[in-house]
């Protein structure tokens, strides 16, 4: 346990010092950390293992989120893991119920255990189907019969009590739960790692010959997306806005050129001037909110407005780990982060006017250097996630698939 | 066809002020009309519409909305009036009629001087003494046609004329080079248009002319048709030959007029026209035209190397590498005698980027011209007006080589040339120079300095206590407004938005902070972050076009757009001398390209390397736009020296005041 604790602390420190940047990297680190948290978690024998696991993950998750509240991917991943735990618990419970039924019929314990353990070995499709069935809305029949929906919930929780009498069975289920959860988390890691390819596969459907594409900020997703289209022999031109104080656009341009794309770097101020000759704006999101709003690199709102004005499609690429189940309130300010003024003004240049916290009266000069920008859903034409293209108003539903309602507030 | 439709067309003619109308004949065709077309035109010209027997077409003087003309033409052809509707008739302008009259009277032969078109070489070589009908007629028609659109506005003439010269006078092209250098010596007041035959006229803007051009061709075709119907093949043949402007008929009677063109006056008018052509600043060169660029290069003083990795969209703009020619030029300073040293200095300043801000550039240029005019002496046997204009043209093209002129500079140059042109003939050289210098001084004082003061007075009424004002980049008018508002005790906060690569906002920030203003500094990407707290946006302008488009430093459009999205009023401060009668829709067609290296070089320490390593990759380009155009819909108000106006009033201001300003 101490090693896990130190790992958590180390990661928290990294987050706090913004050593890890980019939602994908953060997400991967978070999920790996959570996996080790789960695998090192010693499940108490008596209590409900699922809820114990959930509590442990929540505790760590709260620390991580507090370390960098702006990096929404951390919270997203923690919620995803919680969701996985709940789902596995549920599917185990249903399996156990089925097992109990079987038990009633055949009175064969080992058969149940063997079947229960063999269960994860079955194809993932079955697991997914089971998971889906748990998410399925109540059937028409239950609605008609007026059975309270909550009836299923105590049933699941009682399943632990049911099996409590048989310790052998219980321990195997415990092991199985952890095993299943780690399986699920591994799958999540795989998904996060592979979201680029998933998204890039769709590039060919959206980019045609001789297209002119504007992008800004540096996003690996965008890079892969464009390169995938390039590999399919589409020839097009990319305008990259440099992304002023951090010049991430230059990095992206460098990568694009290295892959043989026609790239033009423009200043951020020329976005409006150029947008009339652009066929599509493609950006990578920092986070996608449940209302379909996008948090992206600073300057994105400007590009989105210009695109709207010129009726240019504004396409946002986002892996599923960027989908945040929260609805934003005043995201420009609350989900933003101000960086050092030194990126804008040289050190010492206006030092007599700036307030360095020395408290020498009110400062004459303030320097504002935000990191992110919020794009309201009305300006977004399309989201491309690893599950396909979606419109902004659909995002809330898509997001609901990935998270449990219980975890929204951590 | 049915003549009854003729009268219906009559009310269409809007008679406002000077006008023309062709009222289609209400009865049967009159073949003789076309024959005696010009004569009638002349008679009617003296008293419009009254003299002509049927009250038919041709009023002398017109500021012709082209629409009318074509309408009338259409009506005419519908009415089967055989009238071959000589285009110059309906569109007759004072000049042309004057020439017609002159022709009619036959007293002297001012045709050439008046029309300003020296028929390329036919006049000089053939018709001058021989008076060969053929040559004469051709040249005349060419002249007339050339002069025809000129009354409307200068632009049309330019594009049309070359057509004609192609169509009719083959010699024209050969005489190009020769005419260019002809020195003027004659008297004053040449009014009319010329066929342009200098390379410079090639600069004429396609977009401006094309419409008029098309119209003219259309009309000509219609007229030709009508003519064919009415008068049979012979006429039709002739008219179609004269297609571009349909002037052949008109010129027919002139055959009888003896031609006494003095080559002197002809030459003079040529150069006058040349200068007229020169002075319209929008005659931009399209740099994707290889041959013209080459020609321009041969003439240029500044040796420019074209930058590699041009952006395809902007091939029509000059893309040169900066900086490398500077030492070369500054070493040449004593060897170049064609360029006055003051102008040279301004040019170098432009080249080095020391001068920024439209007003500063314009004032520096005008001061240099002032100095140059002071040091100017008319060479013997030359006319001050002509020679000085030529000199100024040389200076201007030098300045253009250093850096493309801003719109305001173009306007100032136009003003100066007008002043030179309007110099009274009897003025002695020192007097003329003094008058010019004082005019320039007056322009600077009145149009720039005083205008700024007026703007400040106006704009400061829009600043209230507790406001947060946002400004973008560096505009000296805005700076003056902010400082003045601070001076008179308004409490407000200023948000200075800046952008790469010039970071002019830091200059403004420094000055504002030094005066104790409360400032917030940010970059353009963050403008939508900061806009929420802003109550007003003040912007400077490089120019405002007559469709209300604001042409200003790149990024202005972004700021205005975001302000508009946040419902923050956008106030543009612009001196009226920067207004321009051009129209502009996007930022691509007309722009200036800055040094791409300025973008490639990133101040960040961590990744400075990459840009350099990629320099030679042909897939990577850096685009440094200097200007962009803000659509009028984003602008709430424009503060000018004429008051505070909406952007829709720009064309009115341009129309009402520009004329009188230029004719001062």
pLDDT confidence of residue A251: 87
Residues of chain B contacting residue A367, judged by C-beta atoms under 8 Å apart: 520-522
Length of chain B: 664
Alpha carbon of A202: minimum distance to chain B alpha carbons (Å):
24
Name the helix (H) or strand (E) containing A373: strand A372-375
Judge: A344–B498 Cβ closer than 8 Å, yes or no: yes
Which residue in chain A has the smallest CA separation from B551? A273
Q: What is the mean pLDDT of each run of 10 residues along chain A (410 residues)?
A: 79 84 84 85 70 84 86 88 86 78 54 43 50 58 60 43 49 73 88 87 88 88 90 89 85 88 90 91 91 91 92 92 88 83 76 58 78 92 90 89 81
Token pair, residue B50, equals: 């009254």
Return d(Cα B224, Cα B542) in angstroms, integer: 46
Closest by Cβ to A273, choosing from B500, B509, B628: B628
The DSSP H or E segment spanning B420 is helix B407-421
Residue B402 is predicted with a pLDDT of: 80
A363: nearest CA partner in chain B:
B518
Residue A91's pLDDT is 84
pLDDT of A101? 65
Residues of A in contact with B621 (CB under 8 A): 263-265
A365 to B521: CB separation less than 8 angstroms, yes or no: yes
Look up residue A24 and give its two tokens. 């994908």
Chain B nearest-CA distance from A195, in A, is 27
The pLDDT tens digits for B78-88 are 444 444 444 44
- What is the Cβ-side half-sphere exposure of residue A258, based on CA atoms within 13 angstroms? 11
- The pTM (predicted TM-score) of the whole model is 0.68
Residue B556's closest chain A neighbor by CA? A269
Closest alpha carbon to B169 in B139, B148, B137: B139
Task: Please name the member of A267, A343, A370 whose beta carbon is closest to the beta carbon of B554.
Answer: A267
Nearest Cα to Cα of residue B536 among B458, B629, B471, B487: B471
Note which residues in 331-360 of chain A have CB less than 8 A from chain B. 332-333, 336, 341, 343-345, 349-350, 353
Distance between A395 CA and the closest CA of chain B, angstroms: 24
With contact defined as beta carbons under 8 Å apart, do B554 and A270 qualify?
yes
3-state SS assignment for residue B537:
strand
Instruction: Enumerate residues 297 to 336 of chain A having a beta carbon within 8 A of any beta carbon in chain B.
Output: 298-299, 301-302, 305-306, 309, 332-333, 336
Name the residue of chain A whose CA is nearest to B552's CA: A273
User: For residue B131, is it left (φ>0), alpha (ψ between -120 and 50) or beta?
Assistant: left
Q: What is the pLDDT of residue B558?
A: 93
Nearest by CB to residue A368, choosing from B530, B614, B628, is B530
Which pair of tokens denotes residue B44?
């009617």
Separation between Cα atoms, residue B37 and residue B251, nearest integer Å: 9
Which residues in chain B have Cβ-Cβ distances shorter than 8 Å to A366? 519-521
What's the angle, vertex CA A283, arms to CA A282 and CA A287, rounded to 5?
A: 140
| Helix, strand or coil, per DSSP, at residue A310 | coil
Cβ neighbours of B503 in A, within 8 Å: none
Which residue in B553, B602, B627 is closest to A247 by CB distance? B602
- Residues of B within 8 A of A263 (CB-CB) are 619-621
Bridge partners, B580 (sequence order): B545
CA distances from A118 to A95, A196, B613 (A): 11, 33, 57
- Both structure tokens of A105: 């019929």
Q: What is the pLDDT of residue B245?
A: 42
CB contact under 8 A, B561 and A305: yes
The C-alpha atoms of residue B143 and residue B195 are separated, in whole angstroms, by 7
User: How far apart are alpha carbons A249 and A252 in whole angstroms?
Assistant: 5
SS (H, E, C) B323-386: CCCHHHHHHHHHCCCCCCHHHHHHHHHHHHCCCCCHHHHHHHHHHHHHHHHHCCCCCCCCCHHH
Looking at the complex, report in whole angstroms how far the Cα of residue B390 sits from the nearest Cα belonging to chain A: 37
| Closest approach of B426 to chain A, Cα-based (Å) | 51
Domains by residue range for chain A, with CATH: 196-407 (3.40.50.10470)
Residue B248: its pLDDT value, please? 39
Cβ pair B522:A344 closer than 8 A: yes
For A368, the closest of B522, B622, B628 (CB atoms) is B522
Separation of alpha carbons B272 and B94, rounded Å: 18
8 Å CB contact of A265 and B621: yes
Shortest CA distance from B525: residue in chain A: A299
Sheet holding B492-498, edge to edge: A365-368, B518-523, B492-498, B467-472, B536-540, B570-573, B637-640, B643-645
Q: Is B450 helix (H, G, I), strand (E, B) or coil?
A: helix
pLDDT of A376: 93
CA distance A293 to A296: 10
Residue B111 phi/psi, 5-degree rounding, is -45, -50
If contacts are CB pairs under 8 Å, which of residues 234-293 in chain A contact chain B? 237, 239, 242-247, 250-251, 253-254, 257, 260-274, 276-277
B599 with A242: Cβ contact below 8 A:
yes
SS3 content of chain A, % helix, strand, coil (to 5): 60, 10, 30
Tell me if residue B594 falls in helix, strand or coil: coil
Whether residue B243 contacts residue B221, with contact meaning beta carbons closer than 8 Å, is answered with: yes
- The answer to whether B525 contacts A373, with C-beta atoms less than 8 Å apart, is yes
Cα end-to-end distance, chain A, whole Å: 23
Answer yes or no: are the C-beta atoms of A113 and A171 closer than 8 Å: no
Give contacts of B601 with chain A, Cβ < 8 Å. Answer: none
Chosen for mutation from B315, B526, B620 (greatest number of chain A CBs closer than 10 Å) is B526
Contact B558, B530 (CB under 8 A): no
Integer Cα distance of A99 and A106 in angstroms: 10
pLDDT value for A172: 65
Does A266 contact B587 at a Cβ distance shorter than 8 Å?
no
Closest partner residue to A264 (CB to CB) among B602, B604, B623 is B623
Mean pLDDT per block of 10 residues along chain B (664 residues) reads 45 44 45 43 41 45 46 44 43 43 40 39 39 40 40 40 42 41 41 42 45 64 60 44 42 42 49 48 60 65 60 74 58 63 81 80 89 83 82 84 84 86 82 87 89 91 92 91 92 90 86 88 91 92 90 92 93 89 87 82 58 64 88 92 90 77 51
Residues of B in contact with A248 (CB under 8 A): none
Q: Do A373 and B528 touch (CB under 8 A)?
A: yes
The mean of the pLDDT values for chain B is: 66
**Partner residue opposite B499 with nearest CB, options A257, A268, A332:** A268
d(Cα A223, Cα B529) in Å, to the nearest integer?
26
Percentage of residues in chain B with pLDDT exceeding 90? 15
Nearest chain A residue to B515 by CA distance is A364
pLDDT digits (tens, 9 = 90+) for B320-373: 655 555 566 656 655 556 677 788 888 888 877 777 788 888 888 888 888 888
**Angle at which helices B154-167 and B133-147 pack, to 10 degrees?**
150
């Amino acid at each position: 346990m101490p090693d896990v604790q130190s790992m958590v602390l180390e990661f928290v420190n990294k987050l706090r010092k913004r050593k890890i940047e980019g939602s994908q990297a953060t997400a991967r680190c978070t999920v790996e950390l959570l996996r080790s948290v789960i695998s090192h978690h010693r499940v108490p024998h008596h209590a409900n293992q699922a809820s114990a696991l959930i509590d442990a993950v929540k505790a760590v998750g709260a620390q991580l989120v507090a370390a960098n509240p702006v990096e929404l991917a951390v919270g997203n991943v923690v919620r995803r893991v919680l969701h996985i735990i709940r789902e596995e618990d549920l599917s185990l419970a249903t399996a156990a119920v089925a097992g109990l039924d079987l038990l009633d019929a055949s009175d064969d314990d080992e058969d149940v255990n063997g079947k229960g353990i063999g269960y994860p070995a079955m194809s993932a499709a079955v697991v997914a189907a089971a998971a889906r069935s748990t998410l399925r809305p109540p059937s028409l029949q239950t609605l008609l019969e007026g059975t309270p929906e909550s009836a299923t919930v105590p049933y699941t929780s009682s399943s632990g009590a049911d099996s409590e009498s048989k310790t052998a069975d219980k321990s195997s289920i415990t092991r199985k739960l952890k095993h299943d959860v780690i399986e699920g988390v591994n799958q999540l890691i795989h998904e996060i790692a592979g979201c680029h390819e998933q998204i890039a596969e769709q590039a060919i459907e959206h980019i045609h010959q001789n297209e002119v594409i504007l992008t800004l900020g540096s996003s690996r997703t965008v890079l892969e997306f464009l390169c995938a289209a390039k590999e399919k022999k589409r020839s097009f031109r990319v305008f990259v806005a440099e992304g002023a104080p951090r010049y991430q656009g230059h990095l992206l341009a460098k990568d694009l050129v290295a892959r043989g794309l026609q790239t033009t770097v423009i200043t951020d101020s020329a976005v409006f001037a150029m947008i009339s000759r652009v066929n599509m704006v493609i950006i990578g999101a920092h986070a996608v909110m449940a209302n379909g709003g996008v948090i992206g690199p600073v300057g994105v709102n400007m590009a989105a407005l210009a695109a709207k004005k010129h009726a240019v499609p504004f396409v946002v690429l986002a892996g599923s780990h960027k989908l945040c189940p929260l609805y934003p309130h005043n995201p420009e300010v609350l989900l933003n982060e101000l960086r050092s003024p030194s990126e804008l003004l040289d050190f010492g240049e206006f030092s007599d006017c700036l307030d360095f916290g020395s408290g020498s009266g009110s400062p004459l000069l303030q320097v504002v250097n935000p990191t992110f920008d919020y794009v309201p859903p009305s300006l977004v034409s399309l989201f491309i996630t690893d599950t396909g293209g979606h419109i902004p108003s659909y995002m809330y539903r898509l997001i609901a698939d990935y998270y449990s309602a219980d975890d929204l507030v951590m | 066809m049915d003549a009854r439709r003729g009268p219906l067309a009559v009310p269409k003619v809007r008679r406002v002020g000077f006008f023309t109308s062709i009222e289609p004949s209400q009865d049967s065709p009159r073949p003789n009309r076309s024959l005696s077309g010009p004569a009638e035109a002349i008679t009617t010209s003296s008293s419009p519409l009254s003299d002509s027997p049927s009250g038919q077409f041709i009023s002398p003087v017109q500021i012709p909305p082209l629409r009318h003309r074509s309408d009338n033409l259409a009506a005419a052809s519908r009415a089967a009036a055989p009238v071959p509707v000589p285009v110059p008739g309906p569109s007759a302008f004072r000049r042309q009629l004057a020439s017609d009259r002159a022709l009619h009277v036959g007293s002297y032969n001012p045709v050439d001087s008046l029309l300003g078109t020296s028929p390329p070489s036919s006049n000089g070589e053939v018709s001058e003494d021989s008076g060969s009908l053929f040559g004469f007629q051709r040249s005349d028609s060419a002249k007339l046609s050339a002069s025809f659109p000129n009354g409307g506005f200068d632009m049309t003439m330019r594009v049309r004329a070359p057509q004609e010269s192609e169509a009719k006078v083959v010699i024209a092209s050969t005489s190009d080079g020769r005419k260019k250098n002809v020195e003027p010596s004659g008297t004053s007041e040449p009014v009319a248009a010329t066929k342009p035959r200098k390379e410079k006229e090639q600069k004429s803007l396609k977009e401006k002319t094309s419409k008029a051009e098309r119209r003219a061709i259309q009309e000509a075709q219609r007229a030709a048709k009508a003519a064919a119907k009415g008068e049979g093949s012979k006429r039709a043949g002739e008219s179609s030959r004269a297609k571009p402007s349909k002037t052949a008929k008109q010129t027919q009677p002139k055959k009888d007029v003896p031609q006494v063109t003095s080559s002197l006056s002809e030459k003079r008018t040529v150069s006058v026209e040349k200068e007229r052509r020169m002075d319209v600043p929008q005659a931009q060169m399209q740099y994707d035209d290889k041959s013209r660029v080459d020609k321009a290069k041969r003439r240029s003083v500044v040796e420019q190397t074209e930058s590699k990795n041009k952006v395809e969209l902007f091939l029509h703009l000059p893309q040169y590498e900066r900086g490398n020619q500077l030492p070369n030029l500054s070493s040449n300073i004593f060897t170049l005698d064609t360029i006055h040293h003051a102008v040279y200095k301004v040019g170098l300043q432009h080249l080095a980027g020391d001068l920024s801000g439209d007003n500063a550039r314009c004032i520096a240029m005008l001061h240099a011209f002032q100095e140059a005019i002071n040091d100017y002496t008319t060479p013997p046997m030359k006319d001050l007006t002509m020679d000085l204009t030529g000199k100024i043209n040389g200076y201007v093209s030098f300045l253009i080589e250093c850096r493309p002129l801003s719109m305001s500079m173009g306007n100032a140059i136009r003003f100066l040339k007008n002043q030179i042109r309007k110099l009274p003939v009897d003025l002695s050289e020192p007097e003329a120079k003094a008058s010019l210098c004082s005019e320039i001084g007056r322009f600077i004082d009145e149009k720039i300095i005083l205008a700024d003061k007026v703007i400040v007075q106006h704009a400061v009424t829009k600043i209230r206590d507790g406001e947060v004002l946002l400004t973008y980049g560096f505009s000296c008018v805005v700076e003056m407004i902010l400082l003045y508002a601070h001076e008179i005790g308004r409490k407000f906060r200023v948000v200075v938005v800046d952008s790469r690569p010039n970071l002019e906002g830091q200059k403004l920030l420094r000055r504002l902070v030094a005066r104790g203003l409360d400032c917030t500094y940010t970059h353009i990407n963050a403008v939508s972050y900061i806009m929420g707290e802003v109550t007003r946006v003040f912007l400077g302008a490089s120019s405002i076009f007559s469709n209300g488009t604001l042409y200003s430093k790149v990024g202005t459009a972004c700021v205005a757009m975001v302000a508009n999205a946040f419902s923050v009023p956008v106030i543009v401060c612009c001196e009226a001398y920067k207004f321009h009668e051009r129209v502009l829709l996007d930022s691509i067609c007309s722009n200036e390209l800055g040094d791409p290296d300025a973008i490639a070089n990133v101040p960040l320490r961590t990744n400075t390397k990459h840009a350099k390593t990629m320099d030679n990759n042909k897939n990577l380009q850096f685009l440094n736009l200097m200007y962009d155009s803000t659509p009028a819909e984003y602008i709430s108000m424009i503060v000018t020296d004429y008051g505070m106006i909406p952007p829709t009033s720009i064309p009115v201001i341009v129309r009402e005041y520009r004329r009188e300003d230029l004719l001062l």
